[in-house]
Amino acid sequence: MKQRLRQLLSQRQKHQIVDASRISAAVLLSIYSKQGEYYVLFTKRTQEVKVHKGQISFPGGAREADEMLVDTALRECAEEIGLMAEEIEILGELDDTISVTSNYIISPFVALIPWPYQFQVNREEIEELIKVPISALLDKGCQHQDTEIIAGEAGTSYFYDYQGRVIWGATARILKQFLDIFANI
């Protein structure tokens, strides 16, 4: 799976968004294998964070000056959930996406992480770690779609309902792109 996913990610042309009026950010879409099944790791943000309060997201945040975006994703993972860079295997990138509720351009990186892992969750930023089997996310009953306005244009929005937890917005758009690729493995 790892080699095939790496190959699929490397064969595609990444769509980059360049907009100096927006803040560059990066997230890590982390996958791991447990008892022969693959999972995606999400975080639920606390009500104390500046933006995206209470939302389900991938670990990540704003880029610091002179920082490569992949380093942003790795740094934020360490800060938010204690997942250290040397434990993470980057497999590739997905397309940039805009966060409609904030002013971010998000660059997502796909990574394989070890399991089990002793996460050190920063309780000021992260309320909960949510581990979802990819098979559940691919189930037709989990994914829903609607229409939303993104950057002034109508487009399809996706959301995923897993055991009463709703994944929506930029996180759902990133997830949809990943699942479309993963389905070809």
Average pLDDT, the chain: 94
Cα 160 from Cα 38, distance rounded (Å): 17
CB of 83 closer than 8 Å to CB of 34 = no
- Domain 2-137 sits in CATH at 3.90.79.10
More confident residue, 155 or 182: 182
How confident is the model over 1-38, as pLDDT tens digits? Answer: 999 999 999 999 999 999 999 999 999 999 999 999 99
pLDDT on residue 150: 67
Cα 44 from Cα 58, distance rounded (Å): 9
Band of residue 148 on the pLDDT scale cut at 50, 70, 90? confident
pLDDT on residue 67: 97
Cα 126 from Cα 128, distance rounded (Å): 6
* Helices within 82-168 (DSSP H only): 134-138
How confident is the model over 48-64, as pLDDT tens digits? Answer: 867 766 799 999 999 99
CB of 46 closer than 8 Å to CB of 126 = yes
